[in-house]
Structure 1
C-alpha cells in the first residue's frame, strides 16, 4: 500500500469489516445497517493515539459484487456499485461532521481518513481455505476476499459488527488471515451491527446490466485536501478500468487531470491550497489503497513504483504503476477546462459528477470538432444526506462542511 507508510503500531491502518448490504439497498436501510458500526469505528479511532497524520480506517465492504465464472472474465454493474459507494461515503461524511472529525488525507491528529474498499465474496457459499491465501487479480480493480487478506496487512485494529453476518464474516476472515499477523485479543473489536432488514429476495446482480469496462478512463478536478467527495469520484472512476493480463504490451490507464496551481490563485483562502505536487501525491496515495497488491502489505511499497515525478513550470506529470505494471495512473497538470481530453486522442471513458456534467458535454463537443470519437460519459452520484434519520442542520449541510473550501477556511481560522 504505497503512501500508507505504516510501520509503527500507532500508525497502522485499522480495518472495519462490513457484511453485505440489506436488500433492497435503499439509503434508509443502508443507513440503519451501516451508520452504527461506522460511527463506533470512527469514534474509536478519533480518540486513539495516532501519528502526525491521524488515523486511517479501511472499510472493507464484503459482498458479491462481481459476476462471471472465470477469474479473468469478471464484470460488474457500475450504476449499482457507484450508488452503493456514494451512499457509504455520504454516511461517513455525515458522521464525521457530527463528531467534528476531519476525514481528508493527512489532516493531522484527531482526523480519521476513511477509505472504502470493495471486496467480492459471497458469504452464503463455502470458501476453500485449505491452502494459503494468494493474490489473484482479475480483469477489474475489485479483488476477492482471499486477495484482500493476502495484500492488506498488518492492522492496528480489526473491527467487526455484532450480528450474525458480522461474526460469520469475521470467522472466515480470521481463518484466511491465520499466519499473516499475530493478533492480540484487544486488537479485535466488536461494534454495533445496526439494523439490517431484508424484504423479499435480494437484488440479483446476475441479471443487472453489466458495464463494459475500458482500457483508458479519464477525469479531472482540483483534488485539494482530498476529502470523501474526491474519494468517491476516484473510486467510482477506477472501477471502469479493464485491467489486462500480466505481461500485456501496455497497461490500462487512469488519467487524472489535476488543476494547475496558477488556476487556483483566485480560490477562497488560496494561501491554503495545497501545491500541485502534493495534491497529485495524495491522489496516488489514496488510489494505492485500491490498486496496490503486495504480499508484504504496506510494510513494503514495492508494487507502487513512481516511475516519473517531474513538476515542470509549463508541464507536470506524475505516473505510478500498480499490479505488476498492468495499471498505470497518470496525474497531469491541467490549465484549462479540457485538460488531456483534447490533447490525447486515445481515450475511452470520461467520468464526471453532477457539478461537472456540463464540462463533460463541452469536452465531447471539442473532440467532435477535432474529428475524434466522443468519450463515453459516466456520472457519479453526489454526496447527500438522504435517508439520515433525525437530521440536524449540520447533517443536512454536511457537503458544505467537508468541501475543500471549508477545509481551507478552517485552516485559515486556526492560524489566526
Structure 2
C-alpha cells in the first residue's frame, strides 16, 4: 500500500455470528480479528495524523426475514449486541493505546449483516424481504456492491468466517481497492458455534412502523457512546420496502444549541453546533448509505426560520430517508412542537426524559411517543487499571478536559 496516498487507510472486518450475547464469549471470539484489523490500519497510518476507518460488519442470521422485520421487533437484543461491539472496540483501543476518532487513530463503526452460512450467496440476495436495503442492517450483496472502497478486508479463519468471505467476494469488485481487495483470513482464531437464536422469544412483539424517529443530545467530541445511540435510533426507523409506498422516513436529531452549553465544564473546548452536526450527520450516513456508487451523494440544506427549532441542517441520506439536525434551545426540542413524531430513543441514563416528553405531549392531546432505551457502554471486562481511562474516552466532558490539559503544555 502506498504511503503517500491522499485518502486515509480503510478496512472492512467481516464477523460471523457470535456464540451468544454474553460479552465474555463475544470478546473471546472477536478480539483476535479486531486486533489484527487495528494492527493493519496502524501500520498503514505509519505515525501520521490521519484517521483510519474500520467498517465492522457483524453477522446475525435472519435479520431481514419476516420474523425480524422491522428490526424494532428485536430492539433490546440488537442494541445490546451493538453495545458489546462498541465496548470491545473501546477496550481493545485502551489496552493498545489506540486513539479513537482522533488524529493518528481509528474511527470504527458497526453495521449488522444478514448472513446465514446455510444459504449460498445467491439465495442471500433473493431471500431478503426488504426490497431496498439500507443500513444499519444490510445483506452481503448490498455491502459488497456499495460505493465503499476498502484497502484491506479481514475475516476470522473459521468455517463460517470462510463462508462469509466467499459470499462477500462473489459480489465485491476487487479492482476498486489498491491491493486488489481480496479478503484476508485472520489465523489463530478459535472456532465457535454461532448461537441458535439472538432474539429472546418473549421479546418479539407486533411493532408499530415508525417513519419519524427522534433523539436528542449534545454530541460533542463524537465518541463510541454516540455511535451506539445513533445506530440504535436507525434500527427503530421503518425499513425500506415496508409501509406506505413512497412514504418519507425521517430521523430527527435534536443537537443542543451553543447557548445552552455555556455552563458546561471546559466550555471553551466545546465544538460548535455546526461541527457537532457535521460529525453526527457523517456517522449516520456512514452506517445507512450503502447504495451503489452512482447513487451515493448527499446534499446538505441549511435552514433558518424564526421560532423554536428553526435552525436546522437537512440532508437526504438515501432516497426516502431524510436526516434533520435541529438546534434545540430547551430540553424538549421538536418533541413538543411536531405532532407527527412517533418514536423517541433515549439512553438508560436519560430515561426520565422520555417520560417528561410524553407528559408534555399528553397536555397537548397528542399521541404518546414509543420510547426505546439504549444501554450505556460500561467498563466491564476492562482491566482495573484501565477503567478510568476507558470511561474518559466515552465522556465528552473528559475529552474536553484532556484537550485543555494538552493546550496548557
Report the equivalent of 2:385: 393
Relative to the length of structure 2, the TM-score reads 0.86
Report the more deviating stretch, 80-89 or 248-257.
248-257
Report the equivalent of 2:93: 96
CA displacement, residues 331-381 of structure 1 (integer Å, 9 cap, x when unaligned): 101111111111111111111111111111111111111221211111001
Question: Matched residues in 1 for 2:188 and 2:196: separation?
Answer: 19
Question: Matched residues in 2 for 1:88 and 1:122: separation?
Answer: 19
Give the superposition deviation at 1:21.
1.0
Report the equivalent of 2:325: 331
Question: Matched residues in 2 for 1:76 and 1:329: separation?
Answer: 23
Give the superposition deviation at 1:69.
5.3
- Judged with a 3 Å threshold, the aligned counterparts in structure 2 of structure 1 residues 59 and 312 are, in CA distance, closer, same or farther, namely farther
CA displacement, residues 139-188 of structure 1 (integer Å, 9 cap, x when unaligned): 87522110111114211111222322222221221122146625636875
Report the equivalent of 1:114: 108
Q: Is the 8 A contact 1:32 1:194 kept in 2?
A: no
Asked whether 1:375 is paired with 2:369, we answer yes
- Structure 1 unaligned blocks of 5 or more: 1-7
Over the aligned positions, Cα root-mean-square deviation in angstroms equals 3.3
Superposed counterparts of 1:140-151, under 5 Å:
141-151=136-146
1:256 to 237, 253, 256: 253
Asked whether 1:80 is paired with 2:77, we answer yes
Question: Matched residues in 2 for 1:205 and 1:131: separation?
Answer: 23
- Judged with a 3 Å threshold, the aligned counterparts in structure 2 of structure 1 residues 9 and 175 are, in CA distance, closer, same or farther, namely farther
Superposed counterparts of 1:310-389, under 5 Å:
315-324=310-319, 326-386=320-380, 388=381
Question: Matched residues in 1 for 2:52 and 2:116: separation?
Answer: 29
Give the superposition deviation at 1:243.
3.6
Report the more deviating stretch, 276-285 or 395-404.
395-404
Relative to the length of structure 1, the TM-score reads 0.85
- Judged with a 3 Å threshold, the aligned counterparts in structure 2 of structure 1 residues 61 and 379 are, in CA distance, closer, same or farther, namely same
Give the SS at the match of 1:294: coil
- Number of residue pairs aligned between Structure 1 and Structure 2: 398
Asked whether 1:123 is paired with 2:117, we answer yes
Q: Is the 8 A contact 1:226 1:282 kept in 2?
A: yes
2:45 to 45, 49, 69: 49
1:39 to 35, 38, 45: 35
Question: Matched residues in 2 for 1:360 and 1:156: separation?
Answer: 42
Give the superposition deviation at 1:118.
1.1
Report the equivalent of 1:4: none
Question: Matched residues in 1 for 2:84 and 2:68: separation?
Answer: 28
Q: Is the 8 A contact 1:218 1:255 kept in 2?
A: yes
Give the superposition deviation at 1:99.
2.1
- Structure 2 unaligned blocks of 5 or more: none
Question: Matched residues in 2 for 1:370 and 1:218: separation?
Answer: 18
Higher helix share: 2
- Judged with a 3 Å threshold, the aligned counterparts in structure 2 of structure 1 residues 400 and 183 are, in CA distance, closer, same or farther, namely closer
Report the equivalent of 1:5: none
